[in-house]
Amino acid sequence: MSIKDNLLRIQENIENALIKSGRKDDVNLIAVTKTVNVDTINDAISLGVNNIGENKVQEIQKKYDNIYDKVNWHMIGHLQSNKVKYIIDNVDLIHSLDRISLAKEINKRAKAKEKIKDVLIQVNISEEKSKFGLKKEEVLPFIERVLEMENINIKGLMTMAPYAEDPEKIRYVFRDLRNLGYKIEDRNYKNIEMKYFSMGMTNDYEIAIEEGANMIRVGTALFGKRTY
Ligand SMILES: *Cc1c(COP(=O)(O)O)cnc(C)c1O
């Protein structure tokens, strides 16, 4: 299958999931380009991809200047505080804010550039040990601390579901994240918008969309199996 065919199929699946759930809004497809070379990424962009997601700072640095079109860059992986300075200018949305020390560093670096950085809070709904993210009950107190940081805008939530042969088994992960979003909206915090729910990957994006995902992060279904 070509990237073009893959992209068409994903777009069709997105449409069907939206129809199935009676939604009239849009889903942002983030093409996860980790391990994918720049020529292939540029091909995907020429086919209409305009959001790309990487999980390593080093890979963003390596690729950034070789992606010619204006696209939105998403940092979707675990972010070490000492590397924030390398991506603060390049990345449009950080999906993986999960601790105060990182928030402080992002705030500091954004402030130095006179920018306001958009972030999502990563939540570990399934509480898998191997995954990063705050526990559900930690999110509200966390937000109240980040609220004081003027150069950070919280734009929503992100989660990664465990791998499941049958993705129906992990539907609750997406539902819980969306419900947490409603709970945060109810607080009417200033400067906090529950605009994006970044959830769903190759194996489970349709179910995530049915549960309210409006950003899905898809790698394998678009580019094929990764070779590390
Ligand atoms: C790799 C990765 C994805 C994409 O995974 P696929 O199963 O290849 O679609 C999504 N989100 C994060 C955080 C990732 O690291």
User: Band of the pLDDT at 68, cuts 50, 70, 90?
Assistant: confident
Give the residue whose CA is nearest to atom 12 of ligand 1.
Answer: 76
Domain architecture of the chain: domains with CATH? 3-223 (3.20.20.10)
The token pair that represents 19 in the structure block: 């129809």
Q: Which ligand 1 atom is the nearest neighbour of the CA of 223?
A: 8
CB neighbours (10 Å) of residue 24? 6
Structural contact between residues 6 and 222, judged by C-beta atoms closer than 8 angstroms? yes
Q: What is the pLDDT of residue 1?
A: 79
Kindly state if the Cβ of 45 falls inside 6 Å of ligand 1.
Answer: no
Mutation choice for ligand 1 from 10, 32, 163, CB with most ligand atoms inside 8 A:
32
pTM: 0.97
Distance 148 CA to ligand 1 centre (A): 31
Q: What is the pLDDT of residues 84-98, one digit of tens each?
A: 999 999 999 999 999
Residues 211-221 have a mean pLDDT of 98
Distance 185 CA to ligand 1 centre (A): 27
